[in-house]
Amino acid sequence: MSVTGNLPAGHEPEPWIEPGHTYASVTDKISSAVLTRPLGIGWLLGFAFLFSIVMVLNLAIGWLITKGVGIWGINIPIGWGFAIVNFVWWIGIGHAGTLISAILYLLNQKWRTSINRFAEAMTLFAVACAGLFPLIHTGRPWMAYYMFPYPSTMGIWPQFRSPLIWDVFAVSTYGTVSLLFWFVGLLPDLATLRDRAKTRWQQVIFGMLSMGWRGSARHWHRYQSAYLLLAGLATPLVLSVHTVVSFDFAVGIVPGWHTTIFPPYFVAGAIYSGFAMVLTLAIPMRKAYGMEGFITLRHLEQMAKVMLATGLIVAYGYFIEFFMAFYSGNKFDVFLAKQRLHGPYAPFYYALILCNILTPQLLWFKKVRRNIPALFVMSLIINTGMWLERFVIVVISLTRDFMPSAWGRYSPTVWDYATFVGTLGLFTMLIFLFVRGLPAIAISEMRELVHEDSHGSEGHS
Amino acid sequence: MAQIFHRSANFMARASLLGVAVLAGVALTAVLVVARSPYITNQHVTRSQPIQFSHKHHVGDDGIDCRYCHTSVESSAFAGIPPTRTCMNCHSVLFNNVGYLEPVRESYRTDESIRWTKVHRLADYVYFNHSIHINKGIGCSSCHGSVNQMPLVLQASPLNMNWCLECHRNPQQNLRPKDQVFNMDWKAPANQEQVGRQLAAEYKLRTTAELTSCSTCHR
């Protein structure tokens, strides 16, 4: 099946890879970032800065473990606060990687090739940041193993009826499958790096990681079966993980949470923010490493279209939330809907509408979709908007539940901010390490793309 | 191009995959076993006491009732450690000059309590009440074992949560008639299941759901 099949003659689309590339030039270009390119002053300064932010994160977590969760701005009735807002935000960002890798692979979308590798890496790093939050939010992270069902001396199992336990399984399964998928996809490229490595220790490290890959026909045959199977395994996870995360809210009877729209609109929101983060990372990266030939303007435009589509689903979700509140006539739901518009946190709600619904409408215009600075700014706005969405959901509902005597206010402390900024630093630092330590674009798949561009995509799979 | 790895690397790679799996399995099993061992639970561990007080002698040989010393066991959370005066009730006249009882007499003279070493230590986050167990027909020996056979008291039960819940989920297997509660040699009759159910109704035991609710023990 060809992507170009339905287009009228004389309307050839731009290629997915800059014309003129050969197998060798693709391999040279991508592997040079790992093997030959010296560490520039920009990378070193950036890394040093990010490393210091990670030290702030260490300090924040260390102090949290010493003093307890009281150093955060949470207190009854606001038991969740920043930690859960950030958890949901990060896990949402972690959705684009597997969507790009698995679902677009199964749908035979060739444009995924240039972005799948670092989108998957981004997924793993985002899931790592996400997993940190519920862990430290428990207040006693050294007891976290209680959440796993193991034959304990307590004679009880975790509460399997609680979505919070489903979360443990959903997120850990997602992390494991994403890691496997990423690693299996890396195997041929690791072998390429091993073969091109200049120093002994590079040979040994890449040699061990490539697990004896020789590129024989049998290797490729098995590799492709394994990759297809993992793609099939990962596909339902893209939908299930954020569904389960939304159950954390939807199963609770708190006004504003207890709605059936949550799972689909959470999943759409996750993909929305995930693609925004891919753009946030791809735009500087392609510039810094001269990869405009691989991640073309057409790729960026494609991602912009995905953001527009998922953004509209999210907008529909917001609308339905409002509609159902009034349609149900439930006075607590109606009150909460009004609180979003007029309550103490109303500015956050309006900012959310501005970031997530109004601004992305600009993506209807091709000029905007092909304007790189505009896309970059837009991706940052959407990321902000998706963070605000989780803030609105967590904070407004918890501060305004059924009884006025149970109302409260929430304001984060310096430690809340330090932890959040710290995970931003950790995430970016891992991305920095990744682009210099592993091929950020799938070399073997790009070579396939070169092959198809010169032989036509028909009759080759 | 020269090979990077020696041939043996193939074997090492496979062996280490197996090795990691085996090691993880062994480590997990070890942790689970140690968590149930006396090293963690203190079950069967004898503790030295300031005085070689023998429950075997006092309860088993002399037949003194538990409540003679542990006076508050029927009415309070804490069973009670007897004051030195209780010892002196007898030991002012019996064995009143033997050397190994000198700490008792000294405590009596100086009004300074004897510092016994606690044998049954529950975690601070566990609420435990002796009186409710006694009054609902749970005998001393169900938890403390045959104290009348112990020269030095040791912890007969593991005291982990699983052990507590075993009974809270199925109390009828340990319920006794009221007059058997302090009997150290009580054995469950053959029809205990049936008797237990009758006693549970008679004592108006709470439902299993209530008995195993978190806040029954963690308040």
pLDDT tens column, A392-410: 999 999 999 899 998 999 9
Cross-chain residue pair A155–B35, CB shorter than 8 Å: no
Residue A423 has pLDDT above 90, yes or no: yes
How would you class A407 by CB atoms within 10 Å of its CB: exposed for 0-12, middle for 13-18, buried for 19 or more?
middle
The 10s digit of each residue's pLDDT in A115-152 is 888 899 999 999 999 999 999 999 899 999 999 999 98
d(CA B129, CA B108): 30
The pLDDT score that the predictor gives to residue A9 is: 52
Which residue among B1, B4, B161 sits closest to A153, beta carbon to beta carbon? B161
Of A151, A155, A211, which is closest to B166 when you measure between CB atoms?
A155
Q: How far apart are CA A195 and CA A215, in angstroms?
A: 11
pLDDT at A450: 82
**Per-residue confidence at A460, pLDDT binned at 50, 70, 90?**
very low
Orientation angle between helical segments A414-437 and A41-67, nearest 10 degrees: 140
- Mean model confidence pLDDT for chain A: 89
The distance between the two most distant Cα atoms of chain A, rounded to a whole number of Å, is: 73
Contact A396, A340 (CB under 8 A): yes
The token duo for A213 is 């890959």
> What is chain A's alpha carbon radius of gyration, rounded to the nearest angstrom?
23
* Cα dihedral across residues B11, B16, B22, B23: positive or negative: positive
User: Tens digits of per-residue pLDDT, A241-281?
Assistant: 999 999 999 999 899 999 999 999 999 999 999 999 999 99
pLDDT at residue A292, rounded to an integer? 85
For the stretch B144-200, pLDDT in tens is 999 999 999 999 999 999 999 999 999 999 999 999 999 999 999 999 999 999 999
Of B32, B41, B161, the CB nearest to A155: B161
In this complex, do A153 and B162 lie within 8 Å of one another by their Cβ atoms?
yes
Residue A167 · residue A144 · CB < 8 Å: no
Q: Taking the model in full, what pTM does it have? A: 0.89
B interface test, pick of A143, A145, A146, A153 with most B CB neighbours within 10 Å: A153
Question: Residue B1: is its pLDDT beyond 80?
Answer: no
d(CA A120, CA A240): 17
Return the SS3 of A262: helix
Q: Which of A127, A130, A124, A128 is nearest to A101 (CA)?
A: A124
Give the pLDDT confidence score for residue A415 in this predicted structure: 96
Domain ranges of chain A: 23-147+158-455
Looking at the DSSP bridge assignments, the partners of residue A78 are A75
Amino acid at A360: P
With b for 16 or more beta-carbon neighbours within 10 A and e for fewer, the A380-401 pattern comes to ebbbbbbbbbbbbbbbbbbbbb
Q: What integer pLDDT is reported at residue A4 of this predicted model?
A: 47
ipTM of the modeled complex: 0.79
Q: What is the rounded average pLDDT of the residues B18-31? A: 96
Distance between CA atoms of A420 and A414, rounded to whole angstroms?
10
**Beta-bridge partners for B138:** B175
Check whether A289 has a pLDDT greater than 80. Answer: yes
pLDDT at residue A459 greater than cutoff 50? no
Q: Round to whole Å and give the CA distance between A443 and A23.
A: 9
**Contact between residue A70 and residue A140 where contact means Cβ atoms under 8 Å apart:** no
- The distance of Cα A90 from the centroid of its chain, to the nearest Å, equals 7
* Digit-coded pLDDT (tens) for A297-355: 989 999 999 999 999 999 999 999 999 999 999 999 999 999 999 999 999 999 999 99
d(CA B63, CA A420): 68
Helix (H) or strand (E) holding A326: helix A297-328
Residue B9 pLDDT grade (very low, low, confident, very high; cuts 50, 70, 90): confident
Range name among B1-5, B51-55, B110-114 with the lowest pLDDT average: B1-5
Give the model's pLDDT for residue A448.
Answer: 82
* Helices (H) then strands (E): counts for chain A: 18, 0
CATH number for region A23-147+158-455:
1.20.1630.10
The pLDDT of residue A104 is above 90? no
**Single-letter code of the amino acid located at A244:** V
pLDDT category at A106 given cuts 50, 70, 90 is confident
Mean pLDDT of A282-308: 90
Q: Does A212 touch chain B (CB under 8 A)?
A: yes
Q: Which two tokens stand for residue A414?
A: 């310096």
User: For chain B, what percentages of helix, strand and coil (3-state, to nearest 5) are there?
Assistant: 50, 0, 45
Asked if residue A356 has pLDDT above 90, the reply is yes
Model confidence pLDDT, tens digit, residues B84-110: 999 999 999 999 889 899 999 999 999
- Position A270, amino acid: A
Please report the number of interchain residue pairs, chain A to chain B, with beta-carbon separation below 8 angstroms: 35
Contact A156 B161 (CB under 8 A): yes
Q: What is the mean pLDDT of residues B65-71?
A: 95
Cα separation, A295 vs A307, in Å, equals 17
Q: For residue A203, what is the nearest residue in chain B, using CA coordinates?
A: B4
Q: What is the pLDDT of residue A11?
A: 57
Residues A55 and A63: their CA atoms lie apart, in Å, by 12
Q: Are A300 and A372 in contact (CB under 8 A)?
A: yes
Please, which pLDDT band fits residue A37 given cuts at 50, 70 and 90? confident
Nearest by CB to A153, which of B4, B13, B160?
Answer: B160
> For the segment A159-194, what is each residue's pLDDT rounded down to a tens digit?
999 999 999 999 999 999 999 999 999 999 999 999
> What distance lies between CA A121 and its chain's CA centroid?
9
Q: What is the pLDDT of residues A369-396, one digit of tens each?
A: 999 999 999 999 999 999 999 999 999 9
Chain B residue with Cα closest to A194: B4
Rounded to whole angstroms, the Cα distance separating A64 from A414 reads 12
Query: How many CB atoms within 10 Å of residue A432?
Result: 17
Tell me whether residue B177 is exposed, middle or buried, using C-beta atoms within 10 angstroms of its C-beta: 0 to 12, 13 to 18, 19 or more.
middle
